[in-house]
């Protein structure tokens, strides 16, 4: 029941929101998102630690094809839903310093997108998963198209076609798997898992690529990333936050929930190439990030680097790697939302995102400088921030797979520190220039968002165990199962 409520509450609220007029609509949207988070917290209290699927709901949907409306959460799903429901209120709150045209449509699309995202993370039926997966694309496409920046029509369309290409390949893979299920065929996740055992290594290789392409484009992994920097840059701040904070986790979640168990032999054969691509992406994106002039674009590239490490850790198929991936998904979500918000604050005040044109802001507002610094340190994975534990586990996981690859992957930490600290230095330190003569004080909503983000960074940096415990049993079960199927 709780799962159904979590899925449909934002949808209903989002649709009703269309009929509300005026700027007060954002308060209602915020209220909805907070209630949704409260529901999730309630679910957390009801959660029994273990590796089973809980809050299960299973209804017949398209009977003649064995398609079910089957949703439920284990620890992995629960953490992803936690991330979604935690970030959406922050994202809505972060929009309070702006007045968007057609606010009811804007907030409605955000809530409908939340509906689709939660749906992706709790689906236990292949067809349902695909529907939610695609559904998430439509609201974000319109958010970017209607409220985005320059050149948005071309760029968002590229984004749409890119992700749709991946999705259709995944659909092909799912149908292929579906036709291997017993009897009258079924899309239920357990039936699909079982069907994959009857497919030989070559077939699983095709399956691996069909699914991996979809996830790789979504995350994105080098060389499928070319849509990402443009889209992140052109999207409105909230759209970028949804894309980078939550939506890219659909890809990494897909790796864990669908790719590893469905194509273990494919993973055994192709993971080396996929991990190599991920690691190339880390180094490549970090290097490009260093030379970026636009701060938003820099963060977009840094996101490719971070997600490359997550992907490499997961594909290494060991408990540390996958567990690190889980934690890093949460940390990256929180940090990147914080960073994009800081860019939004700067852009709102100075009408530019060019790093070199800013400077000396710390002198004007030390409070903002401290908050910025915390978010930044979280993002470069300093110990005692949330980024550290995830990156540590991920590197540990990759190291167990191959020490050389881990050495290159480790560059992400160093290069990350280079471009992040350099930008901080240019923007915040030094002397003020003609542009940065003053800094309008942070508004209440801006302060609130930054404080929540910083609190999350510090709390989970100091005490990550609370989160790790939720997913651990499920991760162990999953990894053991996959390893067994891989014949290790």
Partner 1 sequence: MKALILLSSLGVISLLAEIFSFKKLLYPLVLLGLTAAFVLNIGEWNTNITYFKMMQFDNFAIAFTSVIIVIAFLWFLMAEGFFKEETSLTDHYALVLFALVGAVLMVSYTNMAMLFLGIEILSIPMYILAGSNKDDVHSNEAAFKYLIMGAFATGFLLFGITLIYGATGSFALEEIKNAVANPGTVPSIFYTGVLLMLVGMAFKVSAAPFHFWAPDVYQGAPTMITAFMATIVKTAAMAAFLRLFDTTFLRVAGSWSDVLWVMTALTLLVGNITAVFQTSTKRMLAYSSVAHAGYMLLALLAANNYSNPAILFYTLAYSIGSIATFCIVSIIVNAKGDDGIHSFNGLGKTNPLLAGIMTIALLSLAGIPPTAGFFAKYYIFTSAFMAGNVGLVLIAIVSSLIGVYYYFRIIIAMYFKEGSHEEVPLDINHKLLLIVIGFAIIALGLFPDCIIRLL
Q: How far is the CB of 109 from partner 1 (least distance, A)?
A: 12
Q: Which is nearer to partner 1, 55 or 141 (CB)?
A: 141
Within 8 A by CB and 6+ apart from 378, the residues are 331, 334, 335, 338, 385, 386, 387, 457, 461
Q: How far is the CB of 375 from partner 1 (least distance, A)?
A: 33
Quote the least distance from Cβ 195 to partner 1, whole Å.
14
Cβ closer to partner 1: 262 or 305?
A: 262
Rg from Cα positions in the chain: 21
Cβ pair 111, 10 in contact under 8 A: yes
* Shortest Å, Cβ 141 to partner 1: 9
Catalog residues that contact partner 1 under the rule CB under 8 A.
61-65, 130-131, 134-135, 137-138, 142, 145-146, 152-153, 157, 160-161, 164-165, 168-169, 171-172, 175-176, 178-179
DSSP reduced 3-state for 45: helix
In whole angstroms, the minimum distance from the beta carbon of 145 to partner 1 comes to 6
Q: Which is nearer to partner 1, 165 or 357 (CB)?
A: 165
Nearer to partner 1, 153 or 370 (CB): 153
Count of residues for the chain? 488
**C-beta closer to partner 1: residue 135 or 418:** 135
> In the complex, what is the shortest distance from the CB of residue 171 to partner 1, in angstroms, rounded to a whole number?
7
**Which CB sits closer to partner 1, 149 or 444?**
149
Compute the C-alpha angle 229/235/241, nearest 5°: 85
Q: What is the DSSP string of 254-299?
A: HIIIIIHHH-HHHHHHHHHHHHHHHHHHHHHHHHHHHT-SBHHHHH
| Angle (nearest 5°) at CA 236 between 133 and 114 | 30
Contact partners, residue 425, CB within 8 Å, separation at least 6: none
Q: At closest approach, how far in Å is the CB of 448 from partner 1?
A: 32
- Helix/strand/coil (H/E/C) assignment for every residue in 391-458: HHHHHHHHHHHCHHHHHHHHHHHHHHHHHHHHHHHHHHCCCCCCCCCCCCCCCHHHHHHHHHHHHHHH
- What are the tokens at 108? 């409605």
User: Smallest gap, in angstroms, from Cβ of residue 227 to partner 1?
Assistant: 14
3-state secondary structure of 179: coil
Nearest distance from C-beta of residue 243 to partner 1, angstroms: 18
Residue 284: how many CB atoms within 10 A of its CB? 17
Query: Which residue pairs, CB below 8 angstroms and at least 24 apart, start in 441-446?
Result: 441/365, 442/345, 442/365, 442/367, 442/368, 443/96, 443/97, 445/93, 445/94, 445/96, 445/97, 446/94, 446/97, 446/341, 446/345
């Amino acid at each position: 029941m709780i799962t159904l409520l979590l899925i449909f509450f934002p949808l209903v609220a989002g649709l009703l929101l269309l009929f509300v007029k005026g700027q007060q609509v954002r308060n209602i949207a915020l209220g909805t998102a907070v209630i949704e988070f409260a529901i999730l917290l309630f679910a957390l209290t009801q959660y029994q630690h273990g590796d089973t699927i809980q809050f299960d709901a299973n209804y017949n949907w398209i009977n003649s094809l064995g398609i079910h409306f089957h949703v439920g959460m284990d620890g992995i799903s629960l953490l992803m839903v936690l991330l979604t429901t935690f970030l959406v209120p922050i994202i809505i709150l972060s929009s309070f310093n702006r007045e968007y045209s057609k606010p009811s449509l804007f907030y409605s699309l955000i809530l409908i997108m939340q509906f689709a995202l939660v749906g992706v993370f709790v689906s236990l039926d292949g067809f349902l998963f695909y529907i939610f997966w695609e559904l998430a694309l439509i609201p974000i496409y319109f958010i970017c198209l209607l409220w985005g920046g320059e050149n948005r029509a071309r760029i968002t369309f590229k984004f749409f076609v890119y992700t749709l290409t991946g999705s259709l390949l995944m659909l092909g893979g799912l149908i292929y798997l579906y036709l291997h299920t017993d009897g009258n065929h079924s899309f239920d996740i357990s039936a699909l898992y079982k069907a994959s055992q009857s497919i030989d290594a070559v077939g699983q290789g095709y399956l691996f690529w069909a699914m991996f392409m979809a996830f790789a484009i979504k995350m994105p992994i080098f060389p499928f990333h070319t849509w990402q920097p443009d889209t992140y840059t052109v999207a409105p701040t909230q759209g970028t936050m949804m894309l980078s904070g939550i939506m890219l986790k659909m890809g990494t979640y897909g790796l864990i929930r669908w790719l590893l168990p469905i194509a273990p032999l494919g993973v055994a054969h192709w993971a080396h190439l996929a991990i190599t691509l991920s690691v190339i992406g880390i180094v490549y994106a970090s290097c490009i990030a260093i030379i970026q002039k636009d701060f938003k674009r820099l963060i977009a590239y840094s996101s490719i680097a971070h997600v490359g490490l997550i992907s490499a850790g997961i594909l290494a198929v060991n408990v540390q790697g996958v567990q690190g991936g889980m934690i890093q998904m949460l940390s990256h979500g929180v940090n990147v939302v914080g960073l994009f918000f800081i860019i939004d604050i700067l852009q709102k005040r100075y009408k530019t995102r060019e790093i070199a044109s800013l400077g000396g802001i710390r002198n004007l507002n030390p409070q903002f400088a401290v908050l910025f610094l915390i978010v930044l340190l979280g993002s470069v994975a300093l110990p005692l921030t949330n980024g550290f534990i995830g990156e540590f586990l991920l590197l540990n996981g990759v190291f167990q797979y191959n020490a050389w690859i881990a050495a290159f992957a480790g560059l992400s930490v160093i290069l990350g520190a280079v471009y992040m600290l350099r930008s901080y230095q240019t923007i915040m330190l030094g002397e003020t220039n003609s542009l940065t003569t003053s800094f309008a004080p942070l508004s209440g909503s801006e302060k609130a968002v930054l404080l929540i983000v910083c609190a999350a960074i510090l709390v989970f940096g100091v005490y990550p165990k609370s989160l790790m415990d939720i997913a651990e049993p499920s991760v162990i079960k999953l990894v053991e199962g996959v390893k067994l199927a891989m014949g290790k």
